[in-house]
Structure formats: structure tokens, C-alpha cells
Structure 1
């Protein structure tokens, strides 16, 4: 397909929509990646390397896997701030709405004002939303949650969802079956199983690739040169999915796997998850969380730890919110799937500048199909990060901006899979590299390979470096990025796939959006 203005206008609806980034006058300079490109029919095609590695489809990230827009939930209760601590006041309103029948639930609206909160506010029922009137700094028009004190120590200010449940381990009896396909390639959605009769379309399943000695040997035990090696059983790779179809012994799931499932490294299996304690269709909207602190902003930690936390959720969201002065995260997810954090700001953390701090947007353990869209971080150590090891996959950071970064946005530790940094931009960084899909060696808890089958697409680190390295059995990619794009990291490893560094005109300009439109044609 010739990438001319004529080609953009005639190649089909999806192609025309995906081309909205570059202006028509720039069309003559457009170029496509050799690994994912439009064919003559205007459909995306993918090229695998000799090991079977290919760029995955990331378009399933976000609320309802992107099948529906974020909903607007009707307001069913309105409150104003009261004198003193407002924790119980807000919680009582939320619990009142949570006690209604599911079809009558909706949003609790906090009218403009300052709401001191000395505890944690829980949004813990299906269909429940905490809504403000704006996230600005003027209480005359905005809803400001002022997090006071440090009791209990290191608390979360707002939690959406249930209680931590140890991952997705609740197994419906009699549903476990082994995957019999020899190799399920990263990016695949189909495979065969030994006992298909236990599965039905619509079942919520968990696929598990075991952490065996054979797999660890294949990935060089994490690839670090000091510290304790990764051990068998420590890092299984779970995938939270839905069954779309069962035909004979072949099962089709809704979202691709983001790592090869290779029987030579140990047989993978799946089971139906019991979904115990899961909260769905809940969110936070249009408010500001300002965490109170005293003393040096680069030392003081006597205050709340995280601002807004999604915990054991599905189809949840946070939008149009600002978080300030947290220790670790402004916005974090754990045991959460199919969530969107959109148009949010995590600014000016207050803490020591050291490990486990300043992960402004943090996909923590068991976070999958998470979309961080149009978000802004400042003064972060790891502005946009997966800190959840092998249980995290399918996370998209779309058009994120990191300002004054003190370290890198990255896959952080122990084999996160399927990260996409799409249109990421660093502004005035304070560190020599600010985006990393690489090996972190002995850093932290022997972090080793921090990301696999992950992509930096059309990112701008023009005043720093992007490090991309190739893990054994996998690949990482940097395509159409600006800045110093290199495989030379803090620990020597082979360079990942680098294409079009500092070459303008990458087409499509957004991989996530192109894949989304291609899937919805």
C-alpha cells in the first residue's frame, strides 16, 4: 500500500481513522514498521521473527476490554463537607448507596469543598461511584479530599474494590484442564485442552504457565549476575481471561496471551475462577486527593502512602482526578483487570528518593488489561511502571507525560509481559534514561528481566535514553522513538528490536488506537 494522501483516504475506514495523527501534508514522509503494518486491504498484518516472537495486540486494555466507552452513572446521593474528619461521613453515604439493590445504585456526589479524611474511604460494591465536581485547587468549585495524619501508617486514601485475595487462586472444583498445544505463541488466542467439556463460552478462566526449573533455565534464571537466582515456583505466569468459544478440543479466549506457553518448559493449565470478592463497574471521578505533609518534601514520609487504589476489581475506572504528595502511587492497581485510568494527574510525591517510592502510576501484582490514558506524572522515580512481576501483562500507557523524571518509566521487575508505551513523552528529565524495557540485574530483589514481549511505540525521550534489550525466549521493541535508543543498559544484554529511531512519520502514530480500530472494523 502506497502511503500517500490518496492511500490514506482510500484504504478503508479503520486506516483513515488511525491516520488522524499526521497531517495530510506530511503524508509523503510516513513510514510503516516491518513488524506491524497495513496490507492492501487496510488491515494490520504482523511479522514474527525466527523464534516466533511478534508484536501482540494490545487493544483489549481498559474498561470492558474497550468494547464500551466509560459509562456515566447517575447520581443517587449528594453530600457536603462537614466539620472535622469526613471519613465516616463519606463512607456512610457510600454504604447507604451500596445497600440499595444493584439496579438502583449509582454515584455519590461530593459537592465542592474541602473534605478532611483521616482514614480510608472504600468504594466496595458493584455499580458504586465516588464523584466530585472537579479536581482543581479551589474548594469553591472543586472537590478536595485532604488526607490528614498517618493512622494507620502507610494507608491508602481511597480504595475501589474488595479486599486483597491472594491473586486469582479461587478454583471452581472440577474445571482444571491441561493445555495440550505444544507451543502457544505470544499473541495467540487459541489452543487445545485435554478436557474441553468443563468449559463454556463466558467462563472467566485463569491460564497458568508454571515457573519450572526448565523455564528458569531457558531465561537464564532471570538474567542477573549477582544476588539470589529466581527459584522454581516463584513466578508462574497467570492470564485472567474469558472463554469466547469451545469447538471440539479448541478453546478461544477473549485476549491474547502475552508470553509463549511452551510445554517443553512445563505444561500450562487453566481453571474457572470463582471470582470471590470481586467488585465490578465501580469508579472514582472528578476529584482531588491532596495528602497533607510537613517538613522536607524529599524526606517526609509521615503521611498517607497511596492516593487512589483499585483492588480486586474488574471493569473499573478512575477519570479526571488529581493526586498529590503521596509516598508511592497516585494511582495503583492490584488484582484488577479491564480497568481504565484516564485524564489523571499524579504530581509532586513527597518521600525519600529511594526504592519503593514515587511510582506515580503503578500496575502492581495481578494487574492485566489496564489502560492508563492521557495521564501526567511529575517528579517520579518510575512515573509509569509495572511493579508486579510475572502476574502483570497487557498494560497500556497511552500518551503519558512524565515531567522532571528522577528515574525511568519501565517494566520494573521479574518478567512483566506485554507492556505498551504508546506516545509516551518525557519533559525535562533529571535522569540519563527515562524509559526501559530491559534487564535490571541485581537491582532491588534481583529484578532481572523487567519486561518481555513489550513495546515502546512513537515515544519521545529526546533529551535522555530509551533502553531496550532482548530477553531469552522473548523480544522487546522500540519503534519510531525519538532520543537515544539503545540496547546499552546498566547490565549487558543483547539489544532488543530497534527500528526507525529519530525518524519522524511513523504510521500508524498510535499502535493501540490502530489495533483498536482494526479489531472493531
Structure 2
């Protein structure tokens, strides 16, 4: 999170100042301001939420990003500087990173890459805490910028830069710490619940909450919600949350970030355990460089080159900022097994691949991605420019002011019950597809994707030359509030329409839901 969000900056787009209601006169040309019925400022200048008869409500997304948005991304000091060498630079770069990793933790910092081309035939890995790979700029001129030139395709479909360890799905359960959640229904957006035995839990503990994928729960969500294709199976899609304990009082546990789905004991007995954080890498990042993947031939056919440009894999409190990624097959930036990450001011452009499935997901939140913030990023010629592609282990992901140009398909929750996605101020320019934003049912598409998003929101988004599809999943809701374009529940698979409010109505008083929620949380003391 970069800097403090001022209240003036938060509401400037509406042309008004809010405290306890409206104050001051509006310009004659200004649209009449309005607030959502579901999330609005109350009489004391704090956000007020409304829930429906099923207990559904718009979640609090403000915990996304580095350090849950509570601190700015740090600027780590340079501890090593190198310039490019002739030939393959993979070992050259890796040796410098490993040299920093061998330092005591308090002496680590940034590896600065001076301007030039750095041909890389392998994968560069940041494997220890407190290390940043930093260039001098992400432009195309090697005399003034740092360009990682990914060459060849050996090993096939490799990642160019990997930050983190790939720890293994948060499975390091500390023996003797598992306990059932005994609250009958923990509603979406809640942070407190009762447990059978809180004796092993302490504030600051990292815990994993598991809502097993039972037949009763699958039946409640219509086994994924598609008439053709195989239904989802028991055990395939547990809901999993990576959280920290804030407070323990008797049998009541308070966590740092809300859950993004109802935990209903009548459908599934949820439990939690303390996670040992084995292999986790934190306080790491990539900054101010360009990853240009070499290819040959037709940019809509050639796939004999690197697959992903930058991957955050097994990280916490990590970031990618001020980077440009080109000619990847799947993603410019992908996250996996990652919490509390920020990707900001990045460009993922000109992918090179066949235009088909599993390709051109320019900014991709993959499995076990939670509290991830993609802010002020730009995608070009994507199939799924800003996407959750990680099913029921993905939640709390915010796409803030993302711009997608020349979209070949839609930004969306992509498959199998991703939860708590926020598209906030998203824009589509010159789209080449019938709909370009989706919180909906994908039916038999892909691997029977079915319900691709639940408890997810499109807020103040602009798809004015396209369509936004929002549909209501069973036991959950999706929302489109203050969006421009054709806003509809009519998707490729017939399902009930989601919650639509203020379509094509100017004057939404909260231009950014994420920023409003973050400011509201800061005003409450940071919880």
C-alpha cells in the first residue's frame, strides 16, 4: 500500500466532501450524488452495510495488499549492484541473489540491475526473506532501462522470475492445534466465532480455516450449477482461508480478515489449525524492470518460449511494482500460495500464444491467492486480463482501477467458487468480445467451471462498449453497483440475476469501494 489515502482524494471523483452526510454546494454541472443501499456512509461518516434475507452482504475488501494495506511498500536499500555480462545471465543474477540471501536477515536488501539487456535462459529465483530484485526502469531502451530477455524454451514452459518457495498449500498443520468451529453459521464478512478448544491459540498465530467440501454443501450450491458436464465432487473444493489470530477470549476467536463465504455447520463442519508457515518467504519484491520473452513466428501460434514472466509463489507481504511484461504464454504476473501481496503500476502486454484456454491470463490470481491487490495495472490483448483462476482457495482479491484494452474474452472469476473478488473502477477499452467482465456461472466451460465467483463485486466499472454479467449463486450473491455499460444477468448459462444497482447512473458518491473501506478501517483504529 503506497501512502495514506486522504479523504479528499477518496471522494474527489464525486466532486463533494462527506462527513456526516453531504456538505457544501455542488457545481451546476455535477451529477446528483447517490449512495448504494448496501454500502453507504451513515450519519457519523462511517460506512454502513445492509444484508439480505440470506445474510449476504458486501464484504470488506480493505485487507488486500502488502501488510493488509496498513503500511506502504518499503523501499529497501541497495546492497549489491551488477551489470549484464555476455551470454546467458541466469547464473550471474542467481549468484548475486544468493549472495544477498546468505547475509544476516537485517543486512539484506535490493539487488540493483544497471541498465542493459540481461539474456536469461533459465529461471531466476528469490528464495529468502527481505530481498528485492530492482531495475532502473521498465522501458524498451536498454541504455536507460533494465531488460530481462528470456531466451529459449528449456525447460519447456518455464517461469522467468519466481519469488518465493512454493511451500505446498498451507498444509503444515501444527500437531494438537486442530479444533472445530462451533458457531452454527459464521456469515460472510464475519471475523469472530466460537471454537471447541481455543487453548492452543494465541494472538499473532497464523491459522488455516477449512470448510470441507461435503455432499450437503455441494447439494446446496447445485453441485456447481451446470446442467451438462460432470458435477463437482465431494472433497474437490474445500473453502480455505489463511488468517492471523487477533484475539482469543475464552472460546471466542477473532481473526484479522473476514471470511468470504458463509460457514454453515448444517452443511459442513469447519475447523481450523495453526500453520507452521514452513517455507514461507516474506518481504520480497520485483521492481522497475522489463521482462521481454523471446519468441519466433506467429504471435497467435508460437508457444516455444517461457510461460509466465513473474510468479509470486509461496509468499507473504510481497510485491511487484513498476514492471512491464511482454510475450508470455499465460501471465505477466501470477500469484500462487500468496497472501498480502500488491501488484501495482504494472503492464502485461502482447502475449504470444494460441488464443485458447489456459493462455493469456495477463494478471492471474491462481490457487491459494488471498488478500492480493492488483492496483493501477494495464493489460493488452488478454483472454482474461484480470482473473481469479484458482477456484475455492482464492478469496479477498482486489482489482483496483485495472484497464484492459483489446480484450479477447472477459476479466472474471474464472472457475469453481472463487470468493470475495472486487473489480473496482475496472475499465475496458476497444474490447473484441461480447462481454468483458463476469461474476457469473460458466457452466460446462473448461473443467466444468460452474459458479466462478461468489460474494463478489463490480463497483464503478466501465464496460460501456461491452457487457457485464452478474448472476446470483445459490447460498450467495454477486453485485454490480454503479457500473456503466450493459449490466445484465443474461449470461451464457441461464441463472438468476445478481444484485444490480445504479447501472449507468452518474454520481456514485464512493468512487472506490476498496479505498473507502480502507479509510474507514483506519479511522476505526486499524482493525
Length-normalised TM-score, structure 1 = 0.97
Corresponding residue for residue 303 of structure 1: 305
Corresponding residue for residue 160 of structure 1: 163
Corresponding residue for residue 481 of structure 1: 483
Quote how far apart the aligned CAs of 1:150 are. 0.2
CA contact (8 A) 1:14 1:518 kept: no
Alpha-carbon distance in structure 2 between the residues aligned to 1:265 and 1:314 = 31
Output one character per residue of 1:415-449: Cα deviation in whole Å (capped at 9) or x when no partner: 00000000000000000100000000000000000
Alpha-carbon distance in structure 2 between the residues aligned to 1:29 and 1:348 = 40
Task: Kindly report which structure 2 residues correspond to 1:427-466, keeping only aligned pairs within 5 A, or say none.
Answer: 427-466=429-468
Alpha-carbon distance in structure 1 between the residues aligned to 2:513 and 2:30 = 17
CA contact (8 A) 2:167 2:280 kept: no
Verify: 1:83 aligned to 2:83, yes or no.
Answer: no
Residue 67 of structure 2, aligned match among 57, 61, 64: 64
Quote how far apart the aligned CAs of 1:379 are. 0.2
Quote how far apart the aligned CAs of 1:45 are. 0.4
SS in 2 for 1:41: coil
Output one character per residue of 1:390-437: Cα deviation in whole Å (capped at 9) or x when no partner: 000000000000000000000000000000000000000000100000
Alpha-carbon distance in structure 2 between the residues aligned to 1:299 and 1:68 = 43
Quote how far apart the aligned CAs of 1:226 are. 1.1
Quote how far apart the aligned CAs of 1:19 are. 1.1
SS in 2 for 1:312: strand
Alpha-carbon distance in structure 2 between the residues aligned to 1:149 and 1:410 = 32
Output one character per residue of 1:162-189: Cα deviation in whole Å (capped at 9) or x when no partner: 1x33311110001000000000000000
Quote how far apart the aligned CAs of 1:17 are. 4.8
Residue 328 of structure 1, aligned match among 324, 330, 333: 330
Corresponding residue for residue 20 of structure 2: none
Change (3 A) 1:235 1:246: same
Corresponding residue for residue 380 of structure 1: 382
Quote how far apart the aligned CAs of 1:227 are. 1.1
Corresponding residue for residue 51 of structure 2: 48
The gaps in structure 2 that reach 5 residues or longer are 17-26
Output one character per residue of 1:213-272: Cα deviation in whole Å (capped at 9) or x when no partner: 000000000001111110000000000000000011110000000000000111100000
Residue 107 of structure 2, aligned match among 100, 104, 110: 104
Runs of 4 or more, structure 1, over 3 Å off, are 13-17
CA contact (8 A) 2:31 2:506 kept: no
Quote how far apart the aligned CAs of 1:23 are. 2.5
Task: Kindly report which structure 2 residues correspond to 1:315-464, keeping only aligned pairs within 5 A, or say none.
Answer: 315-464=317-466
Corresponding residue for residue 120 of structure 2: 117
Alpha-carbon distance in structure 2 between the residues aligned to 1:299 and 1:28 = 48
Quote how far apart the aligned CAs of 1:198 are. 1.1
Quote how far apart the aligned CAs of 1:148 are. 0.3
Corresponding residue for residue 215 of structure 1: 217
Corresponding residue for residue 132 of structure 1: 135
Quote how far apart the aligned CAs of 1:14 are. 7.2
Corresponding residue for residue 264 of structure 1: 266
Quote how far apart the aligned CAs of 1:15 are. 5.4
CA contact (8 A) 1:404 1:428 kept: yes
Alpha-carbon distance in structure 2 between the residues aligned to 1:29 and 1:424 = 22
